[in-house]
Amino acid sequence: MVTIKSERELELMEKAGNYVAQVLDELTEKVYPGVSTQDLDFFAEQRCRDLGVIPAFKGYHGFPGCLCISVNDEVVHGIPSSKRILNEGDVVGIDFGVIYQGWFGDSARTFPVGKISSEAVQLLDVTKESLHRGIEQCREGNRLFDIGHAVQNYVEKFGYSVVREFVGHGIGRALHEDPQVPNFGAKGKGMELKAGMVLAIEPMVNAGGPAVQVLEDGWTAVTRDRSLSAHFEHTVAITADGPRILTPVGVENASK
């Protein structure tokens, strides 16, 4: 069932989203060569405690971390570990969500570790831009697949591919609500978008082919051809005034 949020509910979701954004902003300075992915996870957990919000992923279907941290050919759902040390030149996807007063926020960014190759820079830039092209379609009267069409159309111009097995989603009082939001599809297809819908738009883009496989840990998804992958996500409300990003970059104090 697709839920429609009231203005009051959108304000609470915006609070949740701003907490997510603030912690991701803070993590930007924590990502450097030599740090372990567990260090990043502990930082996020402590910040949730400080800010009085609940990390949304910890314990979700048994996931052990607050953050999903996916390095290089890992697409999504990497498990934080003290043994996983970031190296100069890596790209690291960090996916984070919180619960604030029963409402969820969800966002992801892919960070460079030190200096990265020009190929990696382009992959990150294209993936981030594809997210914004998808968000631009989050307008009343548009159709659901207009979002994925915009993402796919942009990404494939660069010879990259969008992941099929994982998709964006509705979000609200649950982390994953209807509808599913694929990063591919035909323009003009799917349900009509209405004001008050909130969607997590999250392109996962591979430098090589689209196929992924899940490792023996049951969580970590990697590209089957071991090519680099990037992931950016925002929680976005559809409003009468157009798309409103609830997890914006550059939040300085979410509790305000």
Nearer to Mg ion, 15 or 77 (CB): 77
Q: How far is the CB of 56 from Mg ion (least distance, A)?
A: 9
Are the CB atoms for 111 and 91 separated by under 8 Å? Answer: yes
Omega before residue 55 within 30° of 0, cis: no
**Buried b vs exposed e over 83-115: b needs ≥16 C-beta within 10 Å?**
ebebeeebbbbbbbbbbbeebbbbbbbbbbbee
Tokens of 3: 């839920």
Instruction: Give me the least distance between CB of 227 and Mg ion, in Å please.
Output: 21
* Distance, CA of 209 to chain centre: 20
Q: Which is nearer to Mg ion, 177 or 202 (CB)?
A: 202
The minimum distance between CB 222 and Mg ion, in angstroms, equals 17
- Give whichever of 85 and 175 is closer to Mg ion, judged by the CB atom: 175
CA distance 213 to 136: 30
**CA 180, CA 174: separation in Å to the nearest integer?**
13
**Residue closer to Mg ion (CB basis): 51 or 85:** 51
Please state the closest distance from residue 159 (CB atom) to Mg ion, in A.
26
Give CA angle at 184 (150, 201), nearest 5°: 70
| Closer of 90 and 95 to Mg ion (Cβ) | 95
Percent helix, strand, coil in the chain, to 5, is 30, 30, 45
- 3-state class (DSSP) for residue 160: coil
Closest separation in Å from C-beta 207 to Mg ion? 21
Residue number with CB closer to Mg ion (89 or 248): 248
C-alpha span between 116 and 98 (Å, rounded): 30
Residues that bind Mg ion (CB under 5 A): 95, 106, 108, 200, 202, 233
Question: Smallest distance from the beta carbon of 202 to Mg ion, in angstroms?
Answer: 5
